[in-house]
Structure formats: C-alpha cells, structure tokens
Amino acid sequence: VSESLRTVVLDLGLVSPERICVLGSGSANGIDLDRFRPTGPERKKGVRDALGVPSDARVVAQVGRLCADKGLFLIPEVASRLTQESDVHFLLVGGVDQSDEQSLASLDALRAMPRVHLLGHTDSIEDIYSAADVLLLLTRREGLGNVLLEASASGIPVVATTATGTVDAVIDGVTGSLVPFEVGTVVDAVHSYIDEPARARTVGLAGREFVEDRFEQRAVWHRWIGFVDGSALGRRRDARAHR
C-alpha cells in the first residue's frame, strides 16, 4: 500500500521484486473526499462545543491506537509543552492497548494534565479533523498513514515522525512536516502551524490538492479493479498454456 513499505519488504528479502508492486501512489481503499473535506467555522465551533474546547483555542490532535508503536510514551511530554500555553488544547483519539503497561502509565500522566482531552475511539473521526488546527502522528511504523491523508483532505496541516508509511503520506514542507522522534522538534513543528494561521491554511490547501491528485477513493478502486481483472486474465492464460 506504499512505496516505503515495498522497500522494507524487499530489503528483508521476503519477496522478489517482480512479485510485488504498488498501484499508483498506494492505498488499499483511498480517501473519501466527501466525508473528509475542509469545513467552515460554524461546524468547527459546533464540534468544539461538544468536546468542551473553546472556539478560539489552538487545537492539536493525535489519532491512532494508544500504544508504544504510536509514540504514546512521548506524548505526555509533547502535550505538556504544548498545553503550557493556556489557549492550546490537545485531543488524543483512539482505543487503548491494555497489554502495554508503559502506555497505561503514559495515559495516567495525560489524564492529570489540563486541556488534554482523552476521547477514546470514535466512528466520527471527521469531526476531530474539523475541530483540530493540526494533526500529529507520532508513530514508529505504518503501512500507509491514512489518518495523515484524511487530515490533509480535511484541509489541515500534519506533523508526523519519519517512518515507513508516513513518508508516502506527507510532502515535507508542502502538506506538513516530517520530523524525527524527538520532543523539541515535534513541538517546534506543531508551533510552526498553530502560531502561523496563514501558513497553516496554505499547507492545508496543498494537502487537499495532494490527496485529490493521488488518493481519491474511486480512482484507487479503479486501480485495484484493473489489477485484479488483469491478474485473473493472466491466470486464465497460464492455465490454457499448461493444458
């Protein structure tokens, strides 16, 4: 589902190059551009009111499973630094990995912080993007960073750690920022958007165009249909050749 994942699979020697490919720019299902789209201030205010977040706050969101692989051990320090400013709120969205004791300790620290909102799992993730000014994804690995693409389609800048799958979902410096796994660098990247609304709008628009161009859902579906149909045709030809 991404070029960087293909590279890892080849580097590990799991498959020969002729037996693996990436369709288009990747993705298994594409992004629904009607569901994930930029929204106006009225909807943003409505979602924030429901979450208990002031309409004039600066809002950072991280979306994903709450576990070490999603950088949960780093989030308390990142959130602490960001929310030292009284108008910054941090939204943490995703289900908890109950088997990870370090992550459970990190969650306890986050619950004690003001202006940090632990929202759990949601089926209305588009509302989170509507409420946020920037999406953060601290991750060690992805197949393809779908939440980054959803946020970009929603017109907000993204900040992600450089990892397999994220590097295919962000154009660094254009649709967002790719950063190392280091608290200070992460916080600085987030501030470059929440402190500069004009820059954030420009990057958000570029993100929307990026997803429209490469990951529109129906275009991805058509690539998969063409691949499956072509593979089936190839199998039928092979079967006839071996009769």
- The string of pLDDT tens digits covering residues 154-186 is 999 999 999 999 999 999 999 999 999 999 999
> Which long-range contacts link 80-84 to residues 24+ away (Cβ below 8 Å)?
80/113, 81/183, 81/187, 82/187, 82/190, 82/191, 83/113, 83/114, 83/115, 83/116
Q: Where are the alpha helices (DSSP H) in the chain?
A: 3-11, 41-51, 75-82, 101-111, 125-131, 146-153, 183-194, 197-214, 217-241
Each residue's pLDDT tens digit, 184-200: 999 999 999 999 999 99
- What's this model's pTM, rounded to 2 decimal places? 0.93
| pLDDT on residue 234 | 52
Q: Residues with Cβ < 8 Å from 1, sequence gap 6 or more?
A: 22, 26, 27, 28, 143, 144, 165
- CA distances in angstroms from 151 to 57, 101, 154, listed in the order given: 18, 30, 5
Query: What's the pLDDT at 232?
Result: 59
Please give the average pLDDT of every successive group of 10 residues along the chain, which has 243 residues: 97 95 96 97 96 97 92 94 96 86 86 95 96 97 97 98 98 98 97 98 98 98 92 55 48
Q: Among 138, 141, 177, which Cα is nearest to 156's?
A: 177
8 Å CB contact between 125 and 63 = yes
**Whole-number pLDDT of residue 242:** 46
